[in-house]
Structure 1
Amino acid sequence: MPIRREHRGFYPIDWPQLTDLIRFRRAGGRCEGCGRPHLERVACLQDGRWFDTATDTWRDGRGRILRSRMLLENLLYKVRFTRVVLATAHRNHDTSDNAPGNLAALCQRCHMIHDRPEHQRRRRFTLFSRKAAGDLFLGPYPWV
């Protein structure tokens, strides 16, 4: 995933080589959260279950093989296909800490789940600042 222009200064110059090392050498081209393979189309359900074509089994959202039989006739209308792209995530959300133990190769789904608290914090801050600017310049809101 490309880095936003305003955030590029937080990453080292050798970030492309470092992320390739984490995603492909250490993780072997699979998500470290759920095991989904990089750049493959994967059949998945909304609750995180997905079909692993390498082992011909269904896996849960954490990559564990499901023991129960899945009835395909009940799932056909729920299955959607998605292309998996791996990205390197900072486990502690600190972009200056690029130690190998702090970096993880995650797919889109696992990366969004990992970053959810940070996204919620930024969203609250953005909404609060917009409301504050509206109070300052526009007066009271008519819809409140």
Structure 2
Amino acid sequence: MPINYKEYHPQWKQISKAIVARGKNQCELCGAPNNQIVFRPVKGSELPRPWYFDGEVDDCGYKGCYTKIILTVHHIDSNKENNSQLNLIALCQKCHLRLDLAKHIYNRRMKRLGIIRKLEAA
């Protein structure tokens, strides 16, 4: 989902760059490297890590896919106004989605019921 910069701090691009740099350009949960293409095995795979560089595994024997890692910055408390260093963490797409999953499920249900559209129209 594209970011709406109007909802963030005016210096958000600089803030997020600093957080990614603090995390050594890697996902702070799984260690996936920013701007690299990696192999992601499917859940339940016997492979011990959540990602691998090309050539590290013979992916012919494993189910999964190659994906480009793009780090984004996550607000731990979900408050976009709280830009404290302690509240921000650099995450890959998979980890960011996993942490926000409950919120995404809730929003999808509300949209399906028409509740969010009614609130947005008010």
Q: Given the two structures, how large is their TM-score scaled by the length of structure 1?
A: 0.67
- The answer as to whether partners of 1:38 and 1:86 remain within 8 angstroms in 2 is yes
Cα root mean square deviation, aligned: 2.5
How many equivalent residue pairs? 111
Higher relative contact order by CA 8 Å / sep ≥ 6: 1 or 2?
A: 2
Query: 1:20 aligned to 2:4?
Result: no
**Structure 2 CA distance for partners of 1:43 and 1:129, relative to 1, 3 Å:** same
Distance 2:93 2:60 in 1: 28
Structure 2, gaps ≥5 residues long: 44-48
- The answer as to whether partners of 1:36 and 1:52 remain within 8 angstroms in 2 is no
- The answer as to whether partners of 1:84 and 1:108 remain within 8 angstroms in 2 is yes
Larger radius of gyration: 1
Task: Give the 5 Å matches for 1:15-94.
Answer: 15-24=12-21, 26-47=22-43, 49-52=50-53, 74-75=61-62, 78-94=63-79
Distance 2:32 2:71 in 1: 9
Following superposition, the deviation at residue 52 of structure 1 comes to 4.7
Following superposition, the deviation at residue 9 of structure 1 comes to 3.2
Following superposition, the deviation at residue 125 of structure 1 comes to 1.1
Following superposition, the deviation at residue 74 of structure 1 comes to 3.0
Task: Give the 5 Å matches for 1:55-134.
Answer: 74-75=61-62, 78-129=63-114
Task: Give the match's secondary structure for 1:81.
Answer: strand
1:139 counterpart residue number: none
Q: Given the two structures, how large is their TM-score scaled by the length of structure 2?
A: 0.79
Distance 1:72 1:107 in 2: 21
Fraction of identical pairs, as percent: 29
Deviations 1:37-69 (A, max 9, x none): 00101011111732157xx5x8xxxxxxxxxxx
Distance 1:127 1:73 in 2: 39
Equivalent of 1:10, from 7, 12, 31? 7
